[in-house]
Structure 1
Amino acid sequence: MHVYFVGAGPGDPELITLKGQRLLTEADTVIYAGSLVNPALLQFVRADAAVYNSATMTLEEVIAVIEAAVAKGKKVVRLHTGDPSIYGAIQEQMDALEQKNIPYTVVPGVSSFLAVAAALRQEYTLPDVSQTVIITRMEGRTPVPAKEKLALLASHNATMCIFLSIHMLDDVIRELMEGGYPPDTPVAVVQKASWPDEKIIRSRLDAVAGQVAAASIDRTAMIVVGKCLDSNYALSRLYAADFGHMFREAK
């Protein structure tokens, strides 16, 4: 009698954790985010398990399903895309379960911003280029605190991974430039990272909108901006011959 919030990973069914996959095989009830989770992950679910697509449900309906299953002694998996702690809307679900004294555990997953880095074959934190990664989104129906507006975050010129904003790309570009990213700043857009139909666009800030429109990318895409995408960088000191540490003497 337990509830597990499980990160499904970015899409590739093999990128769910071993623990997450095991819990799916054991679950009596599975509630998955059907708008984003790859349905191929349902192959791990038992044929006799009850499966619900939360894309058609309200918060109250999700909690009601969980509560009913737990009352019958069932094991429940709430399957979220990527890692549930990032734009997963799980806090409200966890708070509701705590109010009802229903035990739960969170099982982390591979976030899409990490799958995007893998697709781009890119390190976000290059020496002498950027040592900071900003994870954010453009303000839409969900408001963004005033101090977290894109233009203010852009002033750092750090590597930025922008979720849930591809449909507002023109506004994203405008705010990034207002905040200090030069027009020629390298940018990448990756749609459905790790899925079979993954799309990748590499461009510059002042040209990417047209390329994204031509590729018909309008959802399920990550925007990455920053000099890490196209810059000279210093080699890591960790592996430098003249750099000693507790595991290796300097040469």
Structure 2
Amino acid sequence: MTVHFVGAGPGAADLLTLRAARLVSEADVVLFPGTYLEDGVLEHCRDGAVLVDTQDLDLDGIVATIVEAHAEGQGVVRLTSGDPSVYSALTEQTRRLDDAGVPWDVVPGVAAYAAAAAVVGRELTVPLVAQSVVITRPQARSTEMPAGESLEAFARTGATLALHLGITRTRELMTDLAPHYGDGCPVVVVHRASQPGEQVLVGTVNDIADQVEEAGLRQAAVILVGPALGRGGGDSWLYSATRDRQPR
């Protein structure tokens, strides 16, 4: 049996991939992050499947649950919020599974920042405005950030920022970003993108913290920052009418 790490997307039951939905429906044991997923995601589970909410488990407890289920010959799906490639603790878990001799694979999902951009209908890479997206997080009561990965360093690039795990520090973040992006730079905050409790705040570096505090947002939100969130910019050379499309 192979343990499947499955990206559950931003939380909506119908934003799982077909592969993800199939694996969840076949699993004997499904571990899921209850803090971030809509209940509807678990409706893909078969009757009789064992459901384990990981929000109250530490890393060793999660891995022990997986290893035990695997040893009993049970099919296991470990759901992650968004896509497993970002802030999913995939590396820590699979390293331990390797040590235990447990095989595993990964199924991608819709990333939370992509879902947030979709909610407001914005492209994050606009010609002549921004051609890069930086996915990062602030550092507070969490693992220390690597040297050179300060928010200010990323902000100096002018790229579109997708900030995870920082909603409770919005005011501090905007103070740090203002010198680089300006007070009027567009900012979008999406709480529980695609889920029934979805909230969308649209503002600027200058006023978004007021909106976040008024809304009382404390978790499960993505902050997007950058001029690409506006409506300006140029046209892509790829689709230009003057581009030579003859094969060479």
**Alpha carbons of structure 1 residues 168 and 234: separation in structure 2 relative to 1, 3 Å:** same
* Cα distance between partner residues in 2 of 1:47 and 1:231: 48
- Which position in structure 2 is the counterpart of 1:239? 239
- Which position in structure 2 is the counterpart of 1:66? 66
| 2:126 is equivalent to residue 150 of structure 1 | no
- Which position in structure 2 is the counterpart of 1:171? 172
- Which position in structure 1 is the counterpart of 2:221? 221
How far the C-alpha of 1:35 sits from its partner, in A, is 1.3
1:187-206 pair list within 5 angstroms = 187-206=187-206
Runs of at least 5 residues in structure 1 that lack an aligned partner in the other structure: none
* Cα distance between partner residues in 1 of 2:150 and 2:53: 33
**Alpha carbons of structure 1 residues 246 and 25: separation in structure 2 relative to 1, 3 Å:** farther
Instruction: Look up the SS of the partner of 2:60 in the other structure.
Output: helix
1:137–1:163 CA contact under 8 A, matched in 2: yes
Instruction: Look up the SS of the partner of 1:146 in the other structure.
Output: coil
How far the C-alpha of 1:10 sits from its partner, in A, is 0.3
Per mean C-alpha deviation after superposition, the further-off stretch among 155-164 and 62-71 is 62-71
How far the C-alpha of 1:68 sits from its partner, in A, is 1.3
* Cα distance between partner residues in 2 of 1:156 and 1:60: 38
Instruction: Look up the SS of the partner of 1:245 in the other structure.
Output: coil
Q: How many residues align?
A: 247
- Which position in structure 2 is the counterpart of 1:162? 163
**Alpha carbons of structure 1 residues 246 and 104: separation in structure 2 relative to 1, 3 Å:** farther
1:2–1:74 CA contact under 8 A, matched in 2: no
- Which position in structure 1 is the counterpart of 2:100? 100
How far the C-alpha of 1:71 sits from its partner, in A, is 1.1
* Cα distance between partner residues in 2 of 1:137 and 1:163: 5
Q: What is the identity percentage for the equivalent residue pairs of Structure 1 and Structure 2?
A: 37
Segments of 4+ moved more than 3 angstroms: none
For residues 125-160 of structure 1, the C-alpha deviation after alignment (integer angstroms, 9 at most, x for no partner) is 000100010100111222212311111111111111
* Cα distance between partner residues in 2 of 1:241 and 1:183: 36
Root mean square deviation, CA, Å: 1.5
How far the C-alpha of 1:168 sits from its partner, in A, is 0.7
1:129–1:231 CA contact under 8 A, matched in 2: no
* Cα distance between partner residues in 2 of 1:51 and 1:195: 20
Instruction: Look up the SS of the partner of 2:128 in the other structure.
Output: coil
How high is the TM-score relative to the length of structure 1? Answer: 0.94
How far the C-alpha of 1:199 sits from its partner, in A, is 1.2
Instruction: Look up the SS of the partner of 2:161 in the other structure.
Output: strand
1:10–1:111 CA contact under 8 A, matched in 2: yes
Instruction: Look up the SS of the partner of 2:190 in the other structure.
Output: strand
1:19-168 pair list within 5 angstroms = 19-142=19-142, 143-168=144-169
Instruction: Look up the SS of the partner of 1:148 in the other structure.
Output: coil
2:4–2:104 CA contact under 8 A, matched in 1: yes
Letter paired with 1:174: T
How high is the TM-score relative to the length of structure 2? Answer: 0.95
Instruction: Look up the SS of the partner of 2:47 in the other structure.
Output: coil
* Cα distance between partner residues in 1 of 2:16 and 2:169: 29
Runs of at least 5 residues in structure 2 that lack an aligned partner in the other structure: none
Per mean C-alpha deviation after superposition, the further-off stretch among 41-50 and 158-167 is 41-50
1:2-17 pair list within 5 angstroms = 2-17=2-17
* Cα distance between partner residues in 1 of 2:125 and 2:109: 21
